[in-house]
Amino acid sequence: MTSVPFDDRDGVIWLDGAFVPWRDAHLHVLSHGLHYGGGIFEGIRVYDGRPFKAVEHFQRLHTSARELNFRIPFGPTELDAAMRETIRHQGIVDGYVRPVAWRGSEQISVSGAGTSVHVAIAAWEWPHVFSDDAHSRGIRLHTSRWRRPSPDTAPVRAKAASLYNICTLARDEAEAAGCDDALLLDFRGYLAEATGANLFLVIDGALHTPTPDTFLNGITRQTVLALAQELGISVHERHIQPEELQQADEVFLTGTAYEVQPVRAVDGHSFELGSVTTMLSKAYTGLTRSAVVR
C-alpha cells in the first residue's frame, strides 16, 4: 500500500507563528540544521481529539534545544496553543503531532552561533506505527550492529534529529533482514532500546527495563512505569545483558507512536503475549482514552 508523500498533502502547518498551506511549508536548502544536524523534534499522540501529555513533550522540546545550545523562540504555552489550533484546523481525531525546530540559514559553518531558530508543527491522522495484526500479535526485532553512543560523545538527553541517523541505519538493516524493527545495544554492550521506543522485559512476573543513561527516558516509558507501580508490578531499572532476553517470558516496547507494542521475537527467540504486557497495554489505552484532558 502506498501512502501520500508528506510534502504533497492538503491542510496547513504552523510555521514560525503563522499557518501556511501544507505544500508551502519549506526550509532553505542551506539551512544550518540540514547540513550540521542542528534539529530537534517531538511526537505527540492525539486520542479522541485530545493531545496526550503535551506539556511534558513541549518541556522536553525546550530541554533538547538547550542540549543543542539554541533557544526556541516560542514558550511551551505558545506551542501548546499552536498545536491545539493545528489539530482543530486539520480535524484530527486519532493522530500524531510533529513539532520540529532547526537552525536557520544565516551561515554555513560548523559553528551555529548567530543562526535563527525556526519551529513548525504538523498534524495528521495516524492510528498505528505497525499493522493492526502486528499491534496485537507482536513484532519481530533484529539486533543491530549499530549502537547507542556514550553520553560524552553525543547529546543523548536530547531528542535530536542527528541521533536518529543511527535509528534509520538500524531500521533499514532490520527490515532487510525480514524484521519489523531493530534492537540496539549501547556502547558498552548492554540492551538499550528499539529505533523509536524503549524496551521492557518481563522476567518471572517482574518488569525489567534498561537504565536510560545512553538514550531518552521516554515519556511513554515513564507513564508505563507509573502504571506498573499502580498495578503492583515489581519494576527493576538496571543494565541488562543481551543474553538475559532468553530469561524473559514477555518483551514489549513503549513510545508515543508505538504505545505499548508487544514483541513476539528477537533474532529468532520467541516470546508470548503475556498477562503483564496485556495488563499494561489495557491500562495505557484506558489512560489515553480517558475523559481527562492531558
Q: Which residues are catalytic?
A: 159
Strand (E) positions, 149-249? 181-186, 191-194, 198-203, 206-210, 235-238
Alpha-carbon span 219 to 222, nearest angstrom? 5
- 221-228 long-range contacts (CB < 8 A, ≥24 apart) are 221/254, 221/255, 223/53, 223/254, 223/284, 223/287, 224/200, 224/254, 224/260, 224/280, 224/284, 227/280, 227/283, 227/284, 227/287, 228/280
C-alpha cell at 142: 533484529
275 phi, psi to nearest 5 deg: -70, -35
User: What dihedral do alpha carbons 274, 277, 281, 287 form, nearest 10°?
Assistant: 130
C-alpha cell at 171: 531500521
Exposed/middle/buried for residue 232 (C-beta within 10 Å: 0-12, 13-18, 19+): exposed
- Helical H runs in 68-212? 76-90, 132-137, 164-176
Exposed/middle/buried for residue 147 (C-beta within 10 Å: 0-12, 13-18, 19+): middle
Alpha-carbon span 43 to 51, nearest angstrom? 10
| Residue 191 near residue 183, CB atoms below 8 Å | yes
